[in-house]
Structures are given as C-alpha cells and as structure tokens.
Amino acid sequence: MAKSKPVRAMVVGLGRIGWDFHAKKISANDKFELTAAVETLAERRKEAQETYGCATFATLKDALKGADAELAVICTRSADHADQTIAALKAGLHVLVEKPAAMSVAEMDRMIAAAKKAGKVLTVHQSGRGSSALHFIRETIDSKILGKVFWIRHSNQTFFRRNDWQQLKRYGGGYLNNNGVHAVDSVMRLIDAPIQDVWGDLKHTVTAGDADDWLKVVIRGQNGRVIEVEQSYACAFAQPMWLVCGTTGTLQSMDGKTAEIKYFDPKKAPKLSVDPRAPVNRQYGNDDRLPWQEKTVQMKPKSKYPDFYDDLYRSIRNRKKPLVTAESVRDTTAVLDAVRKKSLWQY
C-alpha cells in the first residue's frame, strides 16, 4: 500500500505556542509538512521563511486564498479562536485550535456546526489530557488502593505580577482561559459521573491588566465526588499540586512528578462499631490502629498516551475520531461558562 502524503499544515499565529511548539512539532513529524504560516509581525514572517522555507501571510484571509494547506493550526489570541476556526472550516480546511477553543458554549456550538457542515476534523489542543500525573492518578483511582475516592483537589499557586496580553479581557485573557481551562479539562477525566453542579469564583488581585488572576472551581458529580481546582498568581507559598482522598487512603503530590501515598487494606483493619454510651470521663477517641502503608513513587503511568499529532494524522487520513473531540471540549467550556456566571467578580 502506498504511503499517504503528509498533511499540509499552516500555523496561524507565531507566538510562543505557535512557534515554540506547533511549528516545531509539525516540522519534526514526517506525517506533516509545514507549508504556510500566518503572522501580523513582519519579522516573525521572515523568521518562518528562513527557518522552514514556508509561504507566509499577514492575514488569515490572505492565507485561506493563497496557501497550499489542508490543516489550519489556530494559535492566535484566545478571543479570535472561534471566528478564525469557522473561517478555516468554511474554506475547506481541517482545524486544530489551541485552548481555550472558545469564549463560550455558544461559540463552541458554532464551531462544531461549521465542522459538521464542512465534513472536516475539528480538534482542540487540550494537552493536559496527556499529563503523566493525570494518568498516574487515573490508574491509582482505578486500582482501588484509596478505596472510594470522594474528594480531589488540583492546585497551582505562585506569586507572579504578570503583565502580558493574557491579562487583558479584550483578548480573552485571564487565568481561567489560560491555565484554568487545562486544569478543569483534566479533572473532568477523573469525575467518573455526569456533572451534578458547578460552583466557582474569579478575582483580579495582583497582576496588571483587567483579567482574572485567581480562580476557584468546584465540580460535583452525580456520584457525589467533589473536585476542586484552585489557581492563583497571588499565593506566595506552595500548595500540593494534587490531593486525592479516598475511604482507605490519600495521595498527595507537591510537584506533579512525585507522589506520596498512604493507604491501608480494609480487610486487615479492625472492626469498628459505634458505642452509643456516654464516653468514660467525657473523653472522646479510641485505640483504633489502622495497618497503614506508605510509599513515595514517581508519577509514571503504566499506559502511554498517544502522540497528539500522530493521532491527528489518523483522524484526517483515516477518518478516525480525534483524541480530543470538540464535543468533549464543549463540556469543559460549559463548566467555564458556569464559573463566570457564579463569580461575584464579573469577567
């Protein structure tokens, strides 16, 4: 069987993620060919021409008319993602769009409808789904070593007076749209039930600009599991990145690389029953001694997450469902919408 031709791709936006990640990934993968780049800054277009020998365009409109491409990789400012994605789909291109894919569920619905009408692949670079820590936690929960998991907290705290475009509302900036969308999308892989309800709050505290730099999201599943996401540019002390609590143990990780796990085998634990009598000498407590085991391990999952671009190639050439479907990202976007609605500080 003849080898399929490489997918001809153009990167739209040569900022940090477009240049440092997508352009490099495409050029290093023989299943893809970087044929075009779109960038408003002339010096960046010149750099792309010299580095990759690709055609360059100052606007997406010009590129959709003149570029030799079948895939558009949208890496522009967040507020522009939906309109540019829809324009590329209408022009007959498949689309990979950076997170956040859209500013609202309404925008996601427009994008999904455009993809269906065009018969093209639409996927989102929710790279957090490939996190080793996330997959290690998934495997730990599935192993039942922690018993019935009822509470998960995912946190990212630092003190950073950030002042780039990500701190401006008009560009779709803010912690929720930037890092928060990764965290929320990731923890939704751990809830294991339909979402019952969502609560959240946003604040603008120490950064420049006018977008949120502090967030709290609480998601409760119909199974009763509660998952919290906490992220801030205004906390000077490190907090555990992951905390997973179950009925027979707890997992904690400060850095997402190493995990401490404390657990016990419930079959080896002494029976415990309630004593309804008044406590002797009004003292509470008991001599319950659990057979605790403790270990510190690297958060390396047994399973391997597929390469995003290899999967995208199969989606385009073989009509396979992409690793990250637009519909699954719509679910994540619905949670973000709910957080904005709940927040007293309005986005």
Percent of the chain whose predicted confidence (pLDDT) is above 90? 93
Q: How many Å apart are CA 97 and CA 344, to the nearest integer? A: 30
Tally the C-alpha atoms within 13 A of residue 333's C-alpha that lie toward its C-beta.
Answer: 22
Burial 196-220, CB ≥16 within 10 A → b, else e: eebebbbbbeebebebbbbbbbbbb
Q: How many Å apart are CA 324 and CA 320, to the nearest integer? A: 11
Place of tokens 């399929």: 4
Whether the pLDDT of residue 1 is over 70: the answer is no
Dihedral over Cα of 106, 89, 185, 213: its sign:
negative
Enter the pTM of the model. Answer: 0.93
Query: Which tokens sit at 22?
Result: 């997508």
Place of tokens 């498949």: 94
> Cβ distance 231 to 179 under 8 Å?
yes
pLDDT grade, residue 4 (50/70/90)? confident
Q: How many Å apart are CA 343 and CA 183, to the nearest integer? A: 18
Q: How many Å apart are CA 80 and CA 83, to the nearest integer? A: 6
Peptide bond into 6 cis (omega under 30): no
Whether the pLDDT of residue 285 is over 90: the answer is no
Burial environment of residue 279 by CB neighbours within 10 A (0 to 12, 13 to 18, 19 or more): exposed
CATH class given for the domain over 131-271+282-305: alpha beta
Q: What residues does 56 pair with on adjacent strands?
A: 37
Q: How many Å apart are CA 179 and CA 231, to the nearest integer? A: 8
Span 323-346, mean pLDDT? Answer: 96
Q: How far is CA 21 from CA 28, 309, 342, in A?
A: 11, 12, 34
- pLDDT at residue number 347: 59
- pLDDT at residue number 283: 86
Mind listing the pLDDT tens digit for each residue in 85-134?
999 999 999 999 999 999 999 999 999 999 999 999 999 999 999 999 99
> Cβ distance 339 to 215 under 8 Å?
yes
Q: How many Å apart are CA 48 and CA 36, to the nearest integer? A: 9
Report which of 122, 119, 61, 125 is spatially closest to residue 87, judged by C-alpha positions.
61
Q: What is the CATH T-level fold of the domain 7-125+306-324, as seen in this structure?
A: Rossmann fold (3.40.50)
pLDDT grade, residue 279 (50/70/90)? confident
Query: Which tokens sit at 193?
Result: 């039930």
- Terminal-residue alpha carbon distance, the chain: 54
Domain ranges in the chain?
7-125+306-324, 131-271+282-305
Whether the pLDDT of residue 2 is over 90: the answer is no
Lowest mean pLDDT: which of 9-13, 28-32, 106-110, 276-280?
276-280
Mind listing the pLDDT tens digit for each residue in 38-77?
999 999 999 999 999 999 999 999 999 999 999 999 999 9
Q: How many Å apart are CA 254 and CA 243, to the nearest integer? A: 9
- pLDDT at residue number 345: 87
Q: Tally the residues of the chain.
A: 347
Query: Which tokens sit at 339?
Result: 């957080």
Whether the pLDDT of residue 3 is over 80: the answer is no
Whether the pLDDT of residue 209 is over 80: the answer is yes
